[in-house]
Chain A
Amino acid sequence: MKPEECPKCKSAKIELENSEKIIWTFRECGFKGKEVGENKRTTNISTKTKPTWCPGCFNFQILAGVKKVIEEQIEKGIPKDDFAIVSGIGCHAKIFDYLNLNGLNSLHGRVLPTCLGLKVGNPDLNVFGFSGDGDAYAEGMEHTIHAARFNSNYKYFVNNNQVFALTVGQPTPTTEQGFKDKTTPLGVKVQPLNPIALMLAAGATFVARVYADVKQVEEITKEAMNHKGFAFIEIIQPCIIFHPDKGYKEKTYNLQETKHDKTNFEQAWKKAQEFNYNTLTDKTKIPLGIFYQTQKQIFEDQLPQLQELKKKNISWKDIKR
């Protein structure tokens, strides 16, 4: 499918250079007066790697949702190389192996600083970070809080299955009290962390939660991409082996279908308290959707050096000293 306009400059001057390989070139792109360059329109961003998630794993839903949005963007003409992904360690991290995009399958807990480094290295990249609850709330907790403070313009997905699944089922900081496994035979004694409240307190500009359902993931990914700044998206993801859905799904509802004002911090804070990640009761309700969204200055927009690069439409790599 031939894109009608350059997604960056909206210029319609597009030439089809090679019909067999479907390579589009945006000529005289209004985008800072420079060509966007060749766009290998291989919209399929699958790798040849065969997924090793358990059959029926909710990670497939998340992969499908994110992939659909990115493929749509590439179809619209955003070069594939304008995307970068970073994953941590855990079941979630295998998403790196199934998305043929640049980036890094990093260490446990270190997704966020890597994303920041990528944005500072090249502010034009569309960066997606993927973490599990182990990455985001245990090993790399400090980065999660500071990422909210920094408000760098990348998108962060936390697959929260409330368990360390790839190490066969130990409790994480969001596991409910009383949960038992081989390492915790006496049951979890401490109360779970509430990541939504944490992100609100830390000053995140986009705080959302969805259920691990392809449609929900797809929609929130689009919303996050349209957000200017750091987007925090938690995905409630049952682990079919070590932490199956204990009735979460029926208790969820969409905030955007209620009168919730996502620009109102107090309302967001109240909504964040409705579900405490602990034991469910008959009255428990699990709000999904965007809790809070606001505009703050983007970190990299405040760095004069990066503005200089932007003006010249170059990256650090192009600077010869």
Chain B
Amino acid sequence: MRYNILFGGPAGTGPNILTHILGEALVEQGYYVFYSRDYQSLIRGGHNFNVLTFSEHPVSSNDSEIDILVCLDKNTESLHKEKLKEKAITLKDNNSNMYFAGRVFKLLSMDFSLLDKQLKKLEKRYDENIKESKKGYDEETNKICEIKPQKIKSYFMNGNQGISQGAIKSGLDIYYAYPMTPATSVLSELAEKQIENNYLVLELENEISVINAAIGSSMTGAKSMVGTSGGGFDLMTESLSLTGIAEIPLVLYLAQRPGPGTGVATYTGQGDLNMARHAGHGEFQRTLFAPGDPKEAQELTSQAFYFSQKYKIPSIILSDKHLGESLYTLIDSPKIIESKKTNSLTRYNSYEKDSEASATEDPEIIKKNIEARKQKQQQIIQDSKNFEQYKIYGIPSSKNVIVSYGSPKGAILDAIMDLDIKFIQVLHLEPFPEIKNEIQNKNVILVENNATGMFADLIAEKTGIFIDEKNKILRYDGRPFLADELKREFQERIK
């Protein structure tokens, strides 16, 4: 059983609340739920939609075909009717999200008390919401499946909440940011919880100010973090390089969206891998981690703090809009690695510095400084091996090997279920793990959310193995991979 429900309507009509309460209710019943958000860069009007996929088995992506279409306006039906399955049900001719909540709960044979519970949690407009949803619940006469409580205890979280939770659990002291989609919800999530968890969140005039203030705070010993998307990261780049030479610990969260320029501001993509790897002038050390779900987001955020504090380097966490803003059902609690605060206020310099940290042009000292920093790189590489740098899913002995990183993981996992495929998900992009033996002499297939296949280039650089152009599954329309479509792509390529 795997159902896809699409909730669509203009911004401001509440498709998000509608999707979320159904998701929460299904998760509480022990079902696996995944939903993604497709919204435009506008505040009222336009067309936004969410696709919610649920099953009694793990789900971490949507499909292209829809079982239930919920239309908060007429536009929704005309835009999505071609995606409907043969026996699909379309709910329309009303503009109340709560009315549709009632109908959908009834369609899934969920008791009204489950909806009532969610509405109580919402608090706002409870009386009106109950009235509207009861009307919908009573009017609905169809049934597409029967939700029964499952014995699974899980939690519901998006990638940005994972980043935020990871930061809190890692002992974050100060988070600085300037709003930019799709990193903004980390800023608001962390801001909301700052008093109860006793850390500080500050929004400054731009990303340049953000990273330099974080550098100032980190100099005093505070665990400091910044978050942004591609354009903001560009602005931070010069100071990223400063953290390299001055050896100041800093965690940076980079949530990708399609660029270049303003690109497609509220959609998804993986076009910033090369920037994350190479940003900043000069030669300096960094770590780069790429979670594929909110649990990994928590774990890798804690690793970013660990490496940045221990080696006094910048650590970047690379995510994207699809991971950051989609809701996942998670079972296991994350493995958080502790990190000590290693910094204390001393003399730092953006120049190469001498023994009293004043600027120097002495060739011997310059060489010594650079070699000391380079030496650190070897220690980082060794230390990284203590961590799970990549994961293997599917059939380990298969000759068909998918390689990917980040948010495509969800659709890949859902697509490979009954195929003869091994999937390698790389978590550590810098230092890069030794995966050559895993992919050598195999039918290697790449899945990447960009146009040029940067991850394939990275693999070629690190392993000498070049992925066949025909085996590069690339999507670059701002949309995430869908499980059913991806499965067909795999079937065409497996040997």
On whether A49 and B356 interact (CB within 8 A), knowing A143-B205, A316-B217, the answer reads: yes
**B174 A96 Cβ-Cβ under 8 A:** no
A87 to chain B, nearest CB (A): 10
B467 to chain A, nearest CB (A): 39
Counting chain B CB atoms within 10 Å of each CB, the highest count among A84, A97, A112, A117 belongs to A117
Report which of A86, A125, A316 forms a contact with B222, defined as CB distance below 8 A.
Answer: A316
On whether A105 and B351 interact (CB within 8 A), knowing A110-B239, A303-B200, the answer reads: yes
B357 to chain A, nearest CB (A): 8
CB within 8 Å of B: which A81-126 residues: 81, 84, 86, 89, 94, 96-98, 100-107, 110, 112-122, 125
**B345 A84 Cβ-Cβ under 8 A:** yes
**B214 A117 Cβ-Cβ under 8 A:** yes
**B217 A120 Cβ-Cβ under 8 A:** yes
On whether A316 and B174 interact (CB within 8 A), knowing A102-B345, A121-B217, the answer reads: yes
Report which of A94, A121, A304 forms a contact with B219, defined as CB distance below 8 A.
Answer: A121
Q: Is A241 an interface residue (CB 8 A)?
A: no
CA distance A293 to B350 in the complex (A): 34
Q: Is A260 an interface residue (CB 8 A)?
A: no
Q: Is A274 an interface residue (CB 8 A)?
A: no
**B347 A114 Cβ-Cβ under 8 A:** no
Report which of A48, A105, A114 forms a contact with B212, defined as CB distance below 8 A.
Answer: A114
A190 to chain B, nearest CB (A): 24
CB within 8 Å of B: which A112-159 residues: 112-122, 125, 142-143, 146
CB-CB < 8 A to B348: which residues of A? 103-105
**B215 A305 Cβ-Cβ under 8 A:** no
CA distance A89 to B210 in the complex (A): 19
Q: Is A177 an interface residue (CB 8 A)?
A: no
Q: Is A313 an interface residue (CB 8 A)?
A: no
CA distance A125 to B220 in the complex (A): 10
**A104 B215 Cβ-Cβ under 8 A:** yes
CB within 8 Å of A: which B216-262 residues: 216-224, 238-239, 242, 246
On whether A47 and B358 interact (CB within 8 A), knowing A146-B204, A304-B195, the answer reads: yes
Of all chain A residues, the one with the shortest Cβ separation from B209 is A113
CA distance A118 to B345 in the complex (A): 9
CA distance A116 to B200 in the complex (A): 13
**A110 B221 Cβ-Cβ under 8 A:** no
CA distance A118 to B221 in the complex (A): 10
CB-CB < 8 A to B341: which residues of A? 316-317
**B345 A81 Cβ-Cβ under 8 A:** yes
Q: Residues 295-321 of chain A: 1 if any B CB is under 8 Å from the residue's CB, otherwise 0?
A: 000000001111010000001110111
CB-CB < 8 A to B215: which residues of A? 104, 106, 114, 117
**B195 A113 Cβ-Cβ under 8 A:** no
CB-CB < 8 A to A146: which residues of B? 204-205, 209
**A118 B216 Cβ-Cβ under 8 A:** yes
CB-CB < 8 A to A118: which residues of B? 216-217, 219-220, 345
**B217 A117 Cβ-Cβ under 8 A:** yes
Q: Is B113 an interface residue (CB 8 A)?
A: no
**B195 A115 Cβ-Cβ under 8 A:** no
CB-CB < 8 A to B218: which residues of A? 117, 121
**B347 A103 Cβ-Cβ under 8 A:** yes
Q: Residues 431-442 of chain B: 1 if any A CB is under 8 Å from the residue's CB, otherwise 0?
A: 000000000000
CB-CB < 8 A to B346: which residues of A? 102
Q: Is B171 an interface residue (CB 8 A)?
A: yes
CB-CB < 8 A to A104: which residues of B? 215-216, 219, 246, 347-350
CB-CB < 8 A to A96: which residues of B? 349, 358-359
Q: Is B375 an interface residue (CB 8 A)?
A: no
Of all chain A residues, the one with the shortest Cβ separation from B340 is A320
CA distance A146 to B359 in the complex (A): 29
Counting chain A CB atoms within 10 Å of each CB, the highest count among B210, B215, B224 belongs to B215
CA distance A48 to B213 in the complex (A): 29
Of all chain B residues, the one with the shortest Cβ separation from A119 is B216
Of all chain A residues, the one with the shortest Cβ separation from B221 is A317
**A94 B209 Cβ-Cβ under 8 A:** no
CB-CB < 8 A to A48: which residues of B? 356
Report which of A89, A106, A110, A305 forms a contact with B198, defined as CB distance below 8 A.
Answer: A305
Which interface class (under 10, 10 to 19, 20 to 34, 35 or more) fits B?
Answer: 35 or more
Of all chain A residues, the one with the shortest Cβ separation from B354 is A49
On whether A120 and B358 interact (CB within 8 A), knowing A105-B350, A305-B200, the answer reads: no
**A308 B222 Cβ-Cβ under 8 A:** no
Counting chain B CB atoms within 10 Å of each CB, the highest count among A100, A105, A142, A306 belongs to A105
Of all chain A residues, the one with the shortest Cβ separation from B211 is A113
CA distance A140 to B350 in the complex (A): 16
CB within 8 Å of A: which B172-219 residues: 173-174, 176, 194-195, 198-200, 202, 204-206, 208-210, 212-219
**A49 B358 Cβ-Cβ under 8 A:** yes
Report which of A114, A117, A121, A305 forms a contact with B199, defined as CB distance below 8 A.
Answer: A305
**A305 B219 Cβ-Cβ under 8 A:** no
CA distance A98 to B357 in the complex (A): 10
Report which of A98, A143, A303 forms a contact with B209, defined as CB distance below 8 A.
Answer: A143
Q: Is B378 an interface residue (CB 8 A)?
A: no
Of all chain A residues, the one with the shortest Cβ separation from B351 is A105
CB-CB < 8 A to A113: which residues of B? 204, 208-210, 212-213, 216
CB-CB < 8 A to B176: which residues of A? 117
A122 to chain B, nearest CB (A): 4
CB-CB < 8 A to B195: which residues of A? 304-305
B347 to chain A, nearest CB (A): 6
Q: Is B344 an interface residue (CB 8 A)?
A: yes
CB-CB < 8 A to A106: which residues of B? 212, 215, 242, 350
CB-CB < 8 A to B238: which residues of A? 107
On whether A105 and B349 interact (CB within 8 A), knowing A114-B213, A116-B213, A121-B219, the answer reads: yes
CA distance A305 to B356 in the complex (A): 34
CA distance A319 to B341 in the complex (A): 9
B341 to chain A, nearest CB (A): 5
A44 to chain B, nearest CB (A): 13
Report which of B173, B174, B224, B359 forms a contact with A105, defined as CB distance below 8 A.
Answer: B359
CA distance A120 to B213 in the complex (A): 9
B176 to chain A, nearest CB (A): 8
CB-CB < 8 A to B349: which residues of A? 96, 104-105
CB-CB < 8 A to B343: which residues of A? 317
CB-CB < 8 A to A120: which residues of B? 174, 200, 202, 213, 216-217, 222
CB-CB < 8 A to B246: which residues of A? 104
Q: Which 10 A-B pairs have the closest CB atoms?
A: A117-B216, A121-B220, A317-B221, A316-B222, A117-B213, A97-B358, A121-B217, A113-B212, A321-B171, A113-B209
Give me 26 A-to-B residue pairs in the complex whose CB atoms sit less than 8 angstroms apart, sorted by A's number: A84-B219, A97-B358, A103-B347, A104-B219, A104-B349, A105-B359, A106-B215, A106-B242, A113-B212, A113-B213, A114-B216, A116-B204, A117-B212, A117-B213, A117-B217, A117-B224, A118-B217, A118-B220, A118-B345, A120-B213, A121-B220, A122-B220, A305-B194, A306-B200, A317-B220, A320-B171
Q: List 9 additional contacts besides A114-B213, A121-B219; criterion CB under 8 Å.
A: A84-B345, A89-B350, A105-B351, A107-B242, A113-B210, A116-B204, A117-B174, A117-B212, A125-B220
